[in-house]
Amino acid sequence: MKPNSHQNSLTCLRALMAAAVFCLWPALPASAQSDGADDTGHKFELAKQYYGDCQDADDERFEQIRPYLKAFTDMEVMADTLADPARLARLMSVVNDPRTIHVMTKCATEPVMWETWMNGMTDFNKMTRVMMRFMNPNMYMSWMMAPMNPAMYQPMMQFMDPAYYTRWMTAMMNPVFYQPVTSLADPGWYTPRINWLMNPQSMQPMFNMMNYGMPVPGAARAPVEPAEDAAPAESE
């Protein structure tokens, strides 16, 4: 084999290996991709408090739905959920609950939630990993096979449960369910939110993303010192 042909074969082999790693990377578990991929930094303290305000809600039930709520605080978790039809169906089943709706609407208006979204959406590395997940062909194959997956139809079984309708009727008669709307009439509700919007530190992640890769103004460059001449060889 000629040297050029051998070199071309090695180049093609390396390209195929890189493509395989690129495609299989999104299919790896989050723990295998990064040590802290599952740690969104969001503690769900307010979510747990708001969930406790609902009727027939306890800490055990909240811990069951907590992994699904992470999808709304971390884009990587949401991307993994969208890539798995059965997992997305389970998420829809969790969201189709008045207690979950109450928690989501309340938390969506909290500055701590805005900060979580701001940090996540402006994280270049995180968003790159999210886009790589959608380049995985296995995701599209899973969605093509989704109609034949029995797990896709499991969430529909809740509509045959009488307790489902009782839970919604009870929630509609609970004044706490309407707090996300009634709180808009409270002038004190706007104070912490306006303070967050007016605080320059709140928008700092967005500014950091806009300035990503740009040189810092006024930063002095280190002078390049000339290379020292090699010492002349001693003659014997």
Question: In sequence order, what are the residues at sequence separation of 6 or more whose Cβ sits closer than 8 angstroms to the Cβ of residue 42?
Answer: 70, 73, 74, 112, 113, 116
Can you give the pLDDT of all 236 residues of the chain as single tens digits? 444 554 555 454 444 444 443 443 433 444 334 333 444 456 788 888 888 888 777 788 888 888 899 999 999 999 999 999 999 999 999 999 999 999 999 999 999 999 999 998 888 889 999 999 999 999 999 999 999 988 888 888 888 999 999 999 999 998 989 998 999 999 999 999 999 999 988 888 888 877 766 655 555 555 555 555 545 555 44
- Provide the 10 A C-beta neighbour count for residue 96: 14
Rounded CA-CA distance 79/131 in Å is 8
Answer whether 183's CB lies under 8 Å from 189's CB: yes
How much is the pLDDT for 141? Answer: 93
What are the residue boundaries of the structural domains of the chain, listed by start?
58-205
